[in-house]
Structure 1
Amino acid sequence: MIVVPRTGVRGGPQTRAKIAGVASGLFVERGFDAVTVADVAREAGVSSVTVFKHFPRKEDLFFDRQAEAEDLLRTALRERGPGDDVLALLCDLVVGLADDRHPLSGLADGAGSFFETVAGSPSLANRAREIGSTLQQALTEELERQPAYPGDVSLLAAFFIAGYAAVLVQTARDRLAGQPIDTVADAHRDRLRRLDEALRDGV
């Protein structure tokens, strides 16, 4: 994830990007649980303290797009114009990610290796669930600022995040099964369409 680093963190965005890149390569090569923060620091040419200043948890070295995902959700709603439908904005956002083959869609180059690494690490799987909960809370907070939305915002946030997670899980399975990327992308978009329909009819 492209994240704006904390102010005052030594090295800035270039150091952060270098650390994340080195970490991702090591995790894919050796497996997440076999790599230590000290290994990452050594390969990146920085101290472990510097790594932790940029990434408070080891799992954050791998899931480094959480802040970007949260920002995309908030921005989509904050740029809402008069009469714009909240659910349509959210669904347009994830369809746009798919069209761009964005890393958050699971359709980007290298996503197969990403999914294999997650599948091989219980700690990463647990962290993914925690991130989903964090994104749900962020979306709920943003929806609460949308007085024009008539429904239960906490339910919409829960259903949308859970629904998108389900779409990603199936996309991951398809990619790990070796299906052609265009076939995977078409199925991914179809599931997004059905998610939109389910949320619109049910929420």
Structure 2
Amino acid sequence: MPGEDEHTGADAGSGAELPLRERKKRETRQRISDIATGLFKERGFDAVTVAEVARAANVSAMTVFNYFPRKEDLYLDRIPEAAATFAGAVRERRPGETPLAALRRLALELLDQSHPLAGVNDRFPSFWRVVMDSPSLRARAREGLEEVETALTEALTEANVADPHLLAALTVAAYRSVYVTTARRLLAGEPAAELIDDHRARIEAAFDALERMAP
């Protein structure tokens, strides 16, 4: 779940309405993640220790782990946001809107907002290269998809769909397919501006297929 300047995994919502203590915690989490991201991009994920991140952020290693249970979460810090966002789209869908319609709308809104979870931005290839160079990050990314699928399954179960496990798995797989195709083209040097329309068309096609296959 990409980043660079957009690498702000704790920023779901503006946070303006949050209590001061919670805002401070989010700011600290973000600062640690941003510092870690810079170090990982400069030297590679496996060459940087949590202790080095802590020193650079002027906090203790324990503080780092209080915010990020694993080193990989310092870089892939949007996994909790992704799980909450996709599950939330189902739980907070509009009156009369089906879960798949709500998820389609979310996917298109993320693209229109140039949100990192949409994956269409010229800055993202540098983020993905760090992931590609680290076996532990690749493994954590796969786990992250499973976490999104689990959260989505729970929301679909609450929505009383016929087979929530299957629909969640199909939805995550479809979204990942669209995302990865765009990522590969960006890594090959194609500019994001030239991929947006195709990305949008593939989202629509993916959800059309999901509608046909939905249990």
Unpaired segments ≥5 residues, structure 1: none
1:144 is paired with a residue whose SS is helix
> Could you list the per-position Cα deviations for residues 156-180 of structure 1 after superposition, in whole angstroms to 9, with x for gaps in the alignment?
1000011111111111111111101
What is the match of residue 154 of structure 1? 165
Quote the RMSD (CA, aligned, Å): 1.8
Matches within 5 A, 1:103-182: 103-108=116-121, 110-147=123-160, 149=161, 151-182=162-193
Unpaired segments ≥5 residues, structure 2: 1-8, 13-20
Code of the aligned partner of 1:14: E
Q: 1:27 aligns with which of 33, 40, 46?
A: 40
Structure 1 residue 195 and structure 2 residue 203: aligned?
A: no
State the TM-score, normalizing by the size of structure 1: 0.91
What is the match of residue 2 of structure 1? 10
What is the match of residue 72 of structure 2? 59
**Between Structure 1 and Structure 2, how many residues are aligned?**
197
State the TM-score, normalizing by the size of structure 2: 0.86
Distance 1:184 1:38 in 2: 39
Structure 1 consecutive aligned stretches of length 4 or more whose deviation exceeds 6 Å: none
> Could you list the per-position Cα deviations for residues 112-166 of structure 1 after superposition, in whole angstroms to 9, with x for gaps in the alignment?
211111111111111111010111011001111113x3x3111110000111111
Going from structure 1 to structure 2, the CA distance change for 1:51 and 1:160 (only over 3 Å counts) comes to: same
Q: 2:53 aligns with which of 21, 40, 59?
A: 40
Structure 1 residue 17 and structure 2 residue 30: aligned?
A: yes
Q: Measure how far apart 1:18 and its partner are.
A: 0.9
> Could you list the per-position Cα deviations for residues 56-96 of structure 1 after superposition, in whole angstroms to 9, with x for gaps in the alignment?
10000001111211221222122223321111110110111
Distance 1:95 1:115 in 2: 22
Code of the aligned partner of 1:173: R
Distance 1:191 1:30 in 2: 35
Q: Measure how far apart 1:3 and its partner are.
A: 5.9
Matches within 5 A, 1:81-120: 81-108=94-121, 110-120=123-133
Please say if residues 171 and 188 of structure 1, whose CA atoms lie closer than 8 Å, have aligned partners that are also in contact: yes
Q: Measure how far apart 1:109 and its partner are.
A: 5.2
